[in-house]
Structure 1
Amino acid sequence: MAYKDYYDVLGVQRSSSEGEIKSAYRKLAKQYHPDKNAGDHKASERFKEIGEAYAVLSDAEKRKLYDQYGHSGQVPPGAWGGAGAGGGSGFSSADYGGVDASQFSDFFQGLFGQQGQAGRGGFRGGGAQVNLDDLMSGMGGGRRFVQNVEGELQVTLPEAYSGSDETIQVEGKRLTVRIPAGTRDGARLRLAGQGPGGGDVLLTIRVLEDVKFDLEGTDLSTSVDVPVDTAALGGSVRVPTMKGDVSLNIPAGTSGGRRMRLKGQGWPSKTGAGDLYVKLNLVLPAKLSDAEKQLYEQLKALRSGQTTQS
């Protein structure tokens, strides 16, 4: 699989700040979000590519390693917490019970993202790690060849909220991973005995930023556009929640920027769900009809007269 440069994917410079990278990600994620491109396979692939690039470039340590080594996974000793893989790795066949290190090139390529991806799951973002001392344990003296492997699995905010089944691939073996509902960023999952030789697969869950919602603690926040006449006279608007759209009553005389709370529509937890806070953005019609212009002129004159009298 040919990989594009992550900086090119996000359209930023290598010297871009963390804020610039985040801004570029948000803009592109909103443009290619599946909700806006239903049935568009290219947009879906682009969205995944954008998420993968952001997962690496938004993490200071991963970005540093990516700047040094790119997608290749050809890292020197110690770069990933143990001896490196491939060229310049600094160990010989004698180091690990007479086994030639070149036998593991395919294994490392899979971990670093160039093989072994399966659908939406898989080790994405080049963040998989292996400790070779553990990986090679037991290779000499007839002992068992056991590999414990670590990786990161990216999921969307809705998937983390509701729970989902993801598919990953380790050494050619497809594994289904159940993401529990309410999973938070940084959560760890252990697939006991599913690694090569009966070792474990240890996954760190990374929840991608969402274009609609922000999560802080157990509270979610979003924003919704409110027509100016609805804000002035009162009415209702549709508001997105993690469970689907709901109707929100807008009191008459509501000002732009006001935040309203939907109790219990936040993130689930053992102590109960948080709340959803909705910021109201007042919007005018992009183009006024002649009748609307006349009404606004009448309103302007009326308000001007009230101001003069007061």
Structure 2
Amino acid sequence: MAYKDYYDVLGVSRGASDADIKSAYRKLAKTYHPDKNQGDERAAEKFKEIGEAYAVLSDPEKRRLYDQFGHTGQVPPGYGDAGNFQGGDFAGFDPSQFSDFFQGLFGMGGRRGGGFQGGGGFSGGQVNLEDLLGGIGGTQGRRFVQNVEGELQVTLEEAYGGSDEVINVDGKRLSLRVPAGTRDGSRLRLAGQAPGGGDVLLTIRVLEDARFDLDGDDLITTVDVPAPVAALGGEVTVQTLGGSGNLKVPAGSSGGRRMRLRGQGWPKKDGTRGDLYVRLNLTVPKDLGDEERELYRRLRDLRR
């Protein structure tokens, strides 16, 4: 697995602020979103890569670990090389090789799965790196824990409508259903599916979508409205997470106006949905034909 520089993926510096990282992600995600690049496999791969980078750099703890180990490829002394883990230098260590090792051990993966951690058999319920490597070397006699924890990334659309996922834990393929309306940080438990009969505990991470913001139970999006439609009134098509719908724009609408589509927001536990708020963004054509140019000229002169 080739080592990726997540800062380069998002096009930001290593000292970038959280706001800079979020802004860069949103711009790139909007550019490479599958809806705008249907059938383009390179764009789809780029979109996935952008999501991976943002998932790491937007999380303070993951970013700290990435900055400490992922970029330089250095780990604390005494953990040996990637082959035997028996001590000595880690010179020439490739972090991607180290990542591959853990993927094989804990079945990290599936479609967008994060790494799994053990729980219950080590102090504090977490897999300590030194404990884990000692157990692998067979010098400390520690046993592997039974419960494992991991993360599963889903898109905003998948969290909205629910999705069927497959993950791989210790070579075992597990199917699960992400319920409609799942929130970022929600936890799913697969009872008895971990090695040794423990549970698999998954934290759901919902990737941001450049087209929508989630505010409580409501969604917020922006739609382009041609200036003549805003002036005279008419209908525009609005993309929703459930498909699309028509929005009636009243005559004399100005840019920035917010309108509401009831029941098009986030699913609630009681079976109802929040609302979708639509911001109007007035647009004018960049390339005008002769007739259009004359009409705009006449309109300008009338407004003087």
Question: Where on the TM-score scale, by shorter chain, does this alignment land: which range?
Answer: 0.7 to 0.9
Q: Structure 1 residues 198 and 277 mapped into 2: Cα distance closer, same or farther (>3 Å)? A: same
Residues 1:122 and 2:121 aligned together: no
The code of the aligned residue for 1:165 comes to D
For residue 247 of structure 1, report the CA deviation from its aligned partner.
0.7
Paired residues for 1:1-310 under 5 Å: 1-70=1-70, 87=80, 109-110=102-103, 116-118=108-110, 120-123=111-114, 128-131=116-119, 133=122, 146-271=145-270, 272-304=272-304
Residue pair 2:169, 2:194 contacting (<8 A) in 1 also: yes
The code of the aligned residue for 2:267 comes to P
For residue 40 of structure 1, report the CA deviation from its aligned partner.
2.1
Moved over 3 A (4+): 71-77, 85-88, 105-108, 127-132, 143-146
Residue pair 1:121, 1:166 contacting (<8 A) in 2 also: no
Q: Kindly report the root-mean-square deviation, in angstroms, between the aligned alpha carbons of the 2 structures.
A: 3.2
Per the alignment, in what secondary structure is the counterpart of residue 245 of structure 1?
A: strand
Name the % identity.
66
Per the alignment, in what secondary structure is the counterpart of residue 288 of structure 2?
A: coil
Q: Which runs of 5+ in 1 are unaligned?
A: 78-84, 94-104, 305-310
Residue pair 1:122, 1:167 contacting (<8 A) in 2 also: no
Residue pair 1:225, 1:281 contacting (<8 A) in 2 also: yes
For residue 107 of structure 1, report the CA deviation from its aligned partner.
9.2
The code of the aligned residue for 1:109 comes to F
Residue pair 2:163, 2:180 contacting (<8 A) in 1 also: yes
Q: Deviations over 1:256-278 (max 9, x none)?
A: 11000001110011243110000
* TM-score where L is the length of structure 2: 0.81
Q: Deviations over 1:120-175 (max 9, x none)?
A: 2422xxx5433461579xx9xxx996421111110000000000011111111111
Q: Structure 1 residues 226 and 32 mapped into 2: Cα distance closer, same or farther (>3 Å)? A: same
Partners of 1:72 and 1:198 lie apart in 2 by: 37
Residue pair 1:146, 1:198 contacting (<8 A) in 2 also: no
Partners of 2:102 and 2:254 lie apart in 1 by: 55
Per the alignment, in what secondary structure is the counterpart of residue 190 of structure 1?
A: strand
Q: Deviations over 1:203-241 (max 9, x none)?
A: 100000001111010000000000111111111000011
Aligned position for 1:102 = none
* TM-score where L is the length of structure 1: 0.80
Residue pair 2:260, 2:276 contacting (<8 A) in 1 also: yes
For residue 72 of structure 1, report the CA deviation from its aligned partner.
10
Partners of 1:32 and 1:185 lie apart in 2 by: 22
Q: Which runs of 5+ in 2 are unaligned?
A: 87-97, 136-141
